[in-house]
Structure 1
């Protein structure tokens, strides 16, 4: 097995240690069934404050535009349809008239405003937050690429496209969608709109996703281990059922891998389904199933399933603390990976060949050799291997994207999240948008026993 794992990790990949630390904030875990997203919590997060502290002094929001620079901005706006955006959102007629009137305050004000709108939509996405269903990714690009700084660069160089280049999505899937949009006739409006919606979803994500990361496209039921935007390994997944237990879209940091995990059984099962009473009342059965139970002085029963082949988390889970209680793990119900429709879990992502993934990450980020990782897994003992450097993981939702074979495909909108995004494309552009969603965070108690 050690030889097989080493084959997964070429020397060039194993030597890749210079990945930038994931800058996505991880708020403290929130306990409870439902909590509201707290905008202030992001502003007070130490990571965000550190970004703010490093920021250069802000240039003015309204800057002085030459006629030549404004003409270049107008050309960018007129060609912005290639990026899936709508030129009329940026008032080309008004800008054209201001250019004709010549240099002055009117031109400065309108060109500055339209440039800012172009930046916001290309950098952050045109879709307003209330149309991004169960989207909980804080995008740091607004801090990394301030609008006023980009504007100053555009005016100084006279080349708007060059100034905008640092904020354009660089993932190859975005480029593929852009190419598809270019060759899709205007008469096929439904396909064009779907392409545009999924191009925008790439803008919702950080431009720099890291040199090594995990990314899963929920409707595709696939997880990718990616190095320099190239797929190294893929894994089938089982994701959340539609409804309240649908898997949310998040970006978190994997801090380690846990071999032979324990499973603390949710109270919805311990109390609601009577498991606590059964474990306490039938010690022989509980031992065979790997359960231990403790009753507190207040009568509260806690049930933990010990490591083993029948553990509901399987033989590994990724340690990725987050307020949604979502993580990637193994499963003893591996027959489910043969199903076509794999939206079957209560939110967490069950991963095929999870042991291979765990060993690979233990090598890449935990500093273990293949033999050490294999021995750790085979020990049957709960062991956490902390990473020397965290690895980003992105749980995304694309209904048109390249599949794991590089073919552009349309995936079923299993959670019905397209409608709001598509509708937003037909509406007027929303200005002054929030950076975070106001949607509820649902803490999911994943009932791993029912499948």
Structure 2
């Protein structure tokens, strides 16, 4: 592999320090980016200076290793390159738990019936919520029968608007646990609707706030083709699988689009081409995690499938000069295991930077020395992790925005060639999503190829009667854990 050209230090610093700030400053002032301003953010060659938003809270000092680690960290007890990571099956009740019951006035019940009859605008089906039975109960008047039925149907509708209609068994590799049912439990919603006599307002309060959901709702009204309508409904539901409010600032990767967005106030600040997992065992799972550290000049622990399976460890132990030339630190442990750690450098398999987002599947965002791959249209090439185009720019922007790191210091860490970990001091969520009908990075609603084949199960669930919700919060599939970024 030919190393990427190394720029003189002074040129690199000047290039990395040239950061336009107009787009973000305009956005944080509450204005919408114009099309030309948005386009300029896409072409920026340096990190966006986001310090105007920084808070005054003190930050922990970054971990700076003066030189590349010479000794690998202790090996895990089991270290094959591919490990099936099962998620313990959550309790799934055979029947639905009895819903809470409230006292319903006739007017509140009529408002619920009206909401059910109009729920098609949200991509759901009125038939799922027994409008005829509710109308009959209303005709009988107030009392226990109305209270029982209206309470049950309200909870069903609230659950589907809050959590999604698609049962967990149809959400393939979905591990992004939605917090909304903890923040807005059924009993509290029912009490709010009946005590304030604002049934429709309570239900509206559960809708996703992201503007893309509203765009899908508009598309639902204008789409005539039944197959396309079904896809729009399925993708509207995918927004309900996520938290209603994604936060002030976050990263989002739409796997079918193979793009990453840096977003503030639900407005895209800048975008990056992404390399995602190959279909099959190395597909990228859907996650909602938090960036905890920005790592400049990371090390990479070589998986045992290469160390042992391909004989790399024995070869490097026998040829220390070769190990040094290839920038590997090699150590044999007391149990005979050989551990190989690639040191920071231009050819490190993780590239120049890594965004740490601890999760049970060892999925994270990183750079790559093979940057030519970002030019490919099909970028489903990795073993699960996300590789980001212009990753150095992204990492420095994250450190400035999420750790109050001065821009000059971020540049210094990047150019030092030394392993440096910068802890985040502000919450910075990452959402790895899967939308096959969505707004692209240019603001156009379009369809994306279902590269992992995850649409059919969702579509099939919409063709079936609504299923009762269970306590399951995420997929219970096994996911292949791979620590080889190549």
Q: TM-score, normalised by structure 1?
A: 0.89
Deviation, structure 1 residue 390: 2.9
Evaluate the alpha carbon distance shift between residue 31 and residue 294 of structure 1 in structure 2; reply closer, same or farther with a 3 A threshold.
Answer: closer
Q: 2:239 aligns with which of 198, 202, 205?
A: 202
Query: Distance in 2 between the 1:184 and 1:377 partners?
Result: 49
Evaluate the alpha carbon distance shift between residue 300 and residue 3 of structure 1 in structure 2; reply closer, same or farther with a 3 A threshold.
Answer: closer
2:176 aligned partner: 137
Query: Distance in 2 between the 1:335 and 1:147 partners?
Result: 50
Query: Distance in 1 between the 2:102 and 2:263 partners?
Result: 41
Query: Distance in 1 between the 2:90 and 2:257 partners?
Result: 34
Given that 1:34 and 1:442 are in contact with CA atoms closer than 8 Å, whether structure 2 keeps it comes out as yes
SS of structure 1 residue aligned to 2:362 = coil
Evaluate the alpha carbon distance shift between residue 109 and residue 208 of structure 1 in structure 2; reply closer, same or farther with a 3 A threshold.
Answer: same
SS of structure 1 residue aligned to 2:291 = strand
Query: Distance in 2 between the 1:191 and 1:9 partners?
Result: 35
What is the total number of aligned residue pairs between the two structures?
420
2:327 aligned partner: 290
1:45 aligned partner: none
Query: Distance in 2 between the 1:40 and 1:9 partners?
Result: 45
Q: 1:4 aligns with which of 18, 26, 30?
A: 18
Report 1:18-417 matches (<5 A).
33-38=83-88, 61-185=100-224, 188-417=225-454
Deviation, structure 1 residue 317: 0.3
Deviation, structure 1 residue 39: 6.1
Deviation, structure 1 residue 102: 0.7
1:430 aligned partner: 467
Higher mean alpha-carbon deviation, 276-285 vs 287-296, is at: 276-285
Given that 2:344 and 2:419 are in contact with CA atoms closer than 8 Å, whether structure 1 keeps it comes out as yes
Deviation, structure 1 residue 439: 2.3
Query: Distance in 1 between the 2:77 and 2:164 partners?
Result: 28
Deviation, structure 1 residue 298: 1.5
Deviation, structure 1 residue 94: 0.3
Q: Deviations over 1:388-418 (max 9, x none)?
A: 1231000000000000011001000000000
Give runs of ≥4 in structure 1 deviating > 4 Å. 29-32
Query: Distance in 2 between the 1:321 and 1:276 partners?
Result: 27
Q: Deviations over 1:223-275 (max 9, x none)?
A: 00000100001000000000000000001010110000000011111111211
Query: Distance in 1 between the 2:186 and 2:159 partners?
Result: 8
Higher mean alpha-carbon deviation, 109-118 vs 150-159, is at: 150-159
Given that 2:291 and 2:428 are in contact with CA atoms closer than 8 Å, whether structure 1 keeps it comes out as yes
Query: Distance in 2 between the 1:207 and 1:16 partners?
Result: 23
Evaluate the alpha carbon distance shift between residue 360 and residue 140 of structure 1 in structure 2; reply closer, same or farther with a 3 A threshold.
Answer: same
Query: Distance in 2 between the 1:97 and 1:274 partners?
Result: 74
Query: Distance in 2 between the 1:386 and 1:97 partners?
Result: 60
Deviation, structure 1 residue 371: 1.1
Query: Distance in 2 between the 1:76 and 1:87 partners?
Result: 9
Query: Which structure 2 segments of 5+ residues have no match?
Result: 1-14, 29-49, 56-75, 92-98
Query: Distance in 2 between the 1:289 and 1:175 partners?
Result: 52
Query: Which structure 1 segments of 5+ residues have no match?
Result: 19-28, 42-59
Query: Distance in 2 between the 1:329 and 1:164 partners?
Result: 40
Given that 1:257 and 1:362 are in contact with CA atoms closer than 8 Å, whether structure 2 keeps it comes out as yes
Evaluate the alpha carbon distance shift between residue 66 and residue 31 of structure 1 in structure 2; reply closer, same or farther with a 3 A threshold.
Answer: farther
Query: Distance in 2 between the 1:432 and 1:408 partners?
Result: 31
Evaluate the alpha carbon distance shift between residue 429 and residue 30 of structure 1 in structure 2; reply closer, same or farther with a 3 A threshold.
Answer: farther
1:51 aligned partner: none
Deviation, structure 1 residue 289: 1.7
Query: Distance in 2 between the 1:72 and 1:329 partners?
Result: 50
Query: Distance in 2 between the 1:238 and 1:208 partners?
Result: 26
Deviation, structure 1 residue 166: 2.0
SS of structure 1 residue aligned to 2:189 = helix
Deviation, structure 1 residue 8: 7.6
Q: Deviations over 1:400-442 (max 9, x none)?
A: 0000011001000000000100000011111132332342342
Query: Distance in 1 between the 2:310 and 2:404 partners?
Result: 42
Query: Distance in 2 between the 1:158 and 1:388 partners?
Result: 42
Given that 2:108 and 2:198 are in contact with CA atoms closer than 8 Å, whether structure 1 keeps it comes out as yes
Cα RMSD after superposing both structures: 2.0
Q: Deviations over 1:87-139 (max 9, x none)?
A: 00000000010011111111111100000000000000000001000000111
SS of structure 2 residue aligned to 1:167 = coil
